[in-house]
Structure 1
């Protein structure tokens, strides 16, 4: 059997303020820092031994991973960071309060942008050019940088990394920790669980709670469980 632990970063300041975050770099709250430390304690209590780690290039996942590795006493573990693991890009919604957006733009529409598989938020037309100035993304083709993404677009840009960077490590027998974001993990859990578009509407990934996926050698999921 093969294992991977999925972990959403701890609460960020914009999680606390109920804002759309996307690719905006927002720090953890004190609660978020505690959540990351508690997640490490749950992993340690489970007896799982992590061999390598993966995260996005956004600070809230990076800081969460640092706190987890500190608590595990495994600061030396290899870390693979990729922009492909970044949160879903919320386009022009980024920074808006979700409740206020629902009042201004319509509750049903905002709910579709947040939860559905195919709905694309309002786009930021110049966003690829802006992102390309950031050292984290200067090596990424402009055509690959988003103006805004549906969940479908998010899993599409994430899957090549999953298949080429993560799956071979799982197949080799390593137990991995992937610290990600609410929507990238929703998309990944949809893919792993072979969920349909209706089921993913109701899928929620809590901050700071490790989720263990156990797989057979052929990568079929046998079970998944939350550590609480």
Structure 2
């Protein structure tokens, strides 16, 4: 049985380009982001991947990435499940701030802690630990059972919601996952064992 799970971070967004903290703010893709999504679809198609169901967040940058990928795969009619459980980490009071301006306002060390610690949230926002607390129950109840039943599942989401998933799938610690960088628009392919552990992993970067 092929237990296939493919994760894709959305393509570059308008606020990625402007170096702003985005979080739950609903911004669109740039031309570069749309091209990244198209390339992701082309890579998956070239390797012969087909899917039974797709999941995405409640934010259009992830939804649009997924739509472009499915278009490249000729899978426009694939069932798509959207849920805010897969949304990006909520950056709270940092949302909309330029990352350099935030460093000036709060200090470089403090901003680094908010961005790169596992369990320290920015004011009014979520830490990666908080993000995992909503992403992982959704994965366990909605996504993982489909994969283990043999459905081929595609997830288009965000850097931090996908970090939370990867932490669970690969059995990483909080310290290990915060060091993991996820490129925009690059599929990560997992084949899982029947207990949900990783049988095989392939990163389509480069």
Whole-angstrom distance in 2 between the partners of 1:176 and 1:167: 9
The C-alpha deviation readout for 1:129-149, integer Å capped at 9, x for no partner, is xxxxxxxxxxxxxxxxxxx11
| TM-score normalised according to structure 2 size | 0.96
Structure 2 spans left out of the alignment, 5+ residues:
none
What's the CA shift for 1:198?
2.1
Residue 83 (structure 1) aligns with = 84
CA contact (8 A) 1:115 1:200 kept: no
Q: Alignment RMSD, CA only? A: 1.0
Residue 218 (structure 1) aligns with = 195
In the alignment, does 2:162 pair up with 1:188? no
- 5 Å matches for 1:168-183? 168-183=145-160
Residue 27 (structure 1) aligns with = 28
What's the CA shift for 1:218?
1.1
- 5 Å matches for 1:54-133? 54-123=55-124
Between stretches 96-105 and 18-27, larger displacement belongs to 96-105
The C-alpha deviation readout for 1:8-31, integer Å capped at 9, x for no partner, is 000000000111000000010000
> Which residue among 152, 156, 180 is the counterpart of 2:133?
156
Whole-angstrom distance in 2 between the partners of 1:172 and 1:195: 24
Q: Could you say what secondary structure the match of 1:179 adopts? A: strand
What's the CA shift for 1:201?
2.5
CA contact (8 A) 2:136 2:164 kept: no
Stretches (4+) displaced over 2 A: none
The size of the alignment, in residue pairs, is 204
Whole-angstrom distance in 1 between the partners of 2:92 and 2:135: 17
